Chain A
Amino acid sequence: MTTYVESTVRFPYKRSLGPVIGQFMTGLTEARLLGIRADDRVIVPPVEWDPETGEQLAHEFVEVGPAGTVRSWCWVEKPTTQHPLDRPFAFALIELDGASTGFLHAVDAGRREAMTTGMRVVPRWRTERRGHITDVEAFVPGDQPLPVERAEPAGEPVTMMTYDAEVHYLTPVTENETRVGQAAAEGRFLGLRCPRCARLYVGGKNDCPICAVALTPQDEVDLPQRGTITNYVIITPVQYPGQTETEPFARVHVLLDGVDVVLMFQPVVDLANDDVRPGVRVSAVWTPPDGTGRRALAGWRPTGEPDVDDPALVNRIH
């Protein structure tokens, strides 16, 4: 049975809109839907370049809609937090009156049976509009424009928008990775020895990268928990959404005793940044058991032994 680890990555991306989409977004703040003329067609939302020829389009904007005709749709029965509505709705390609292209938006029809291809819809505008596609909350069935609050011209043109991206990952965990986690929960370091070349790896790998043979639980060995710092970096953290660090922090490479295994970019415990150097003897520090009795590696703490005096240590990176 495959197990999975769930994780979510979020980031507030910026978008510079440029002269054409910027104009469209500015129109939204005024509760107007704009297209751009391309020969005898009107493209909505407007595009900067002719999709047929690649030539730049003149900035000839055309107001379209507000009513339109649904040309195609699909029902979303279980909306996620990223969907425009929190109840079942349709995503639809809407040909706005005066437009030559389909405009993708949500239709708040209440129930699937209310949706038909060819139905007429009108936009339901938000009261607070900021120059974003969600300024239209959704389209609703009907042919008569709904009353719009505060449709006065925009103050400043809209040139930027943010895009709050959220990606949810389900990452499969291999058996070897699961076993490394289980060993760590008991405060053990699992290694794997290649049955062909006898090279020793930190556990969790699926094959020997040199021999390309599979590594299995039969190849497992417990690794020692002492070693020597070979190389390091002190990182000055750059702030970004999701950053957990505010102060410079160390990451060290640890060569485990008696084996050729280097653990890269490890955290340290009770070792000041100024004291981090190649040659420092360290041992593993495990967190106390959590509610389920599981431990995890907290980092590496100096043992107090004299430094290892080997100038070549600094070259031990892998």
Chain B
Amino acid sequence: MSKNPCAIIGIGQTQHKSRRWDVSLGGLVREAASRALEDARLTWADVDAVVLGKAPDLFEGVMKPELYLTDALGAAGKPMFRVHTAGSVGGTTGIVAAHLVETGIHRTVLAVAYQKQSEGNAQFALGSGKGASLGAGGAFAPYMRSYIHRTGAPLDVGPMVAVKDRQNALKNPYAHLKLADISLEKVKASQMMWDPIRYLESCPSSDGACAVVLTDEAGGLAAAADGRPPAWVLASAVRSEPSSFPGRDAVWSAGAADCAADVYRQAGITRPREQIDCAELYVPFSWYEPMWLEAHHIVGHGEGWKLTERGDTALGGAFPVNMSGGVLSTNPIGASGLLRFAEAALQVRGMAGEHQVDGARVALAQAYGASAQYFSMWLVGSSPDPFA
């Protein structure tokens, strides 16, 4: 199936914090979108359509926020799409925007995703407003215990991820958590929240937004000619599976494997570990780093924790993961997926600042949602055909 090239020419995000009470909800998304347009050297009038993603409405109690935020996103009279795929929504928002360009429906599309967690309560929303909410940590703890059991991973691997991602966040000016004194000892001494997950192995609650400007080949080439390198969307895929069915493997799930296989096939990747330079994976709880490395077949089953333990996934390692500090450092839920997708693009544009991976040419981004059942992934490159 042929498609038109799609270039990412603008990226913006807010300062992420526990409470962004200095701005309205509109002001929050506006901050990210304005920065993305500025980065793309475009104006509101240059945007043909807006795609908006966020976690379910129960989080802030704003129904149909895509209508409420029309003014803030300069979308009056333009197509406005709302995307719903739970925690993976930020990633899917980027993919929907890319599709609109790749199919030639629109030339330039603004993708925006946000969450203002301080206006509501995530545990309340995840528990559908009832008592005894499991929360995300409670829902995923059995999966992580199963992973540890199957692979025999040393129990220090989770805390190692927690330390590494917080160290990366110190290099990211937008990150929420800045834990300068983070250490393995500190992580292991923190409260056990949902065994095997401790407090410091869990993501924070953040207010924040992310925006990405996507455009066609001519727009991408124009940006490149102007000395502003674009990121090219090499491949994208979404997959989902039911939350529960007989024989479901929630650790190395079929949906996760199929989503990655589709992305690798589209891009012509046969050896992901060697051909991809770095990855932003949705890791809200420490153990999900090795779990996703395996479930997405970046390495074989049982091999993911070895990468982490060897330091390969550190910023200077052989296969850096979550250079931005990841979801463990910044979690405006609805935006978290798009933040992963944006960071991958920043890396191949060479614009990631202190958390830049030297010479990154191909980067993978992933987001997941609900009972680890929705997946969205994209692969971006510094050129439209990096393996030619």
Contact = CB atoms under 8 A, between A and B. Distances in A.
Interface of A: 9-11, 13-21, 47-56, 159-160, 163, 165, 199-201, 209-210, 231-238, 240-245, 249, 251, 253, 260, 264-265, 311, 314-315, 317-318
8 closest A-B pairs by CB: A54-B74, A244-B131, A18-B24, A9-B129, A54-B44, A318-B248, A233-B141, A13-B61
B79 interface: no
B240 to A, nearest CB: 12
Contacts of A209: 242, 245
A127 to B, nearest CB: 28
A165 to B, nearest CB: 4
Contact of A236 (B25, B75, B194, B245): B194
B350 interface: no
B24 A21 contact: yes
16 contacts: A11-B124, A13-B61, A16-B22, A16-B119, A47-B71, A54-B75, A231-B146, A234-B195, A235-B132, A236-B193, A237-B132, A242-B130, A253-B142, A311-B149, A318-B244, A318-B246
A96 B145 CA distance: 62
B21 A251 contact: no
B246 A260 contact: yes
B319 interface: no
A230 to B, nearest CB: 8
B134 A232 contact: no
B250 interface: yes
Interface in B333-380: none
Contact of B245 (A47, A56, A249, A318): A318
Given A49-B30, A53-B74, A317-B142, A245 B132 contact: yes
Most central of B116, B139, B246 by chain A CB within 10 Å: B246
Contacts of A11: 58, 61, 120-121, 124, 129
Contacts, number: 158
B247 interface: yes
Interface of B: 19-27, 30, 44-45, 58, 60-61, 70-76, 116, 118-121, 123-124, 128-135, 137-139, 141-143, 145-146, 149-150, 191-195, 242, 244-248, 250-251
A11 to B, nearest CB: 6
Contacts of B242: 209
Contacts of A210: 245-246
Most central of B19, B61, B116, B149 by chain A CB within 10 Å: B61
Most central of B24, B134, B191 by chain A CB within 10 Å: B24
B246 A13 contact: no
Given A54-B73, A245-B132, A240 B61 contact: no
Contacts of B193: 236
Contacts of B194: 233-236
Given A9-B129, A16-B21, A240 B76 contact: no
Nearest to B140: A233
A232 B124 CA distance: 21
A315 B26 contact: no
Contacts of A165: 61
A17 B24 contact: yes
Contact of A242 (B72, B129, B139): B129
Contacts of B60: 13
Contact of A55 (B44, B116, B191): B44
Contact of A240 (B24, B123, B141, B195): B123
Given A199-B246, A236-B193, A249 B74 contact: no
B61 A238 contact: no
A235 B142 CA distance: 11
A236 B136 CA distance: 12
Contacts of B135: 235, 238
Given A48-B71, A53-B74, A315 B30 contact: no
Contacts of A236: 191-194
A13 B76 contact: no
Most central of B25, B45, B121, B137 by chain A CB within 10 Å: B121
Nearest to A312: B149
A48 B24 contact: yes
Contact of B142 (A160, A199, A201, A232): A232
Contacts of A315: 146, 149-150, 251
Given A244-B131, A317-B248, 10 more contacts: A11-B120, A13-B61, A13-B119, A15-B119, A18-B24, A49-B71, A53-B44, A54-B73, A234-B192, A317-B142
Nearest to B193: A236
Contacts of B70: 51
A242 B124 contact: yes
Nearest to B130: A242
Contacts of A159: 21
Contacts of B132: 235, 237, 243-245, 249
Given A53-B74, A160-B21, A233-B195, A317 B124 contact: no
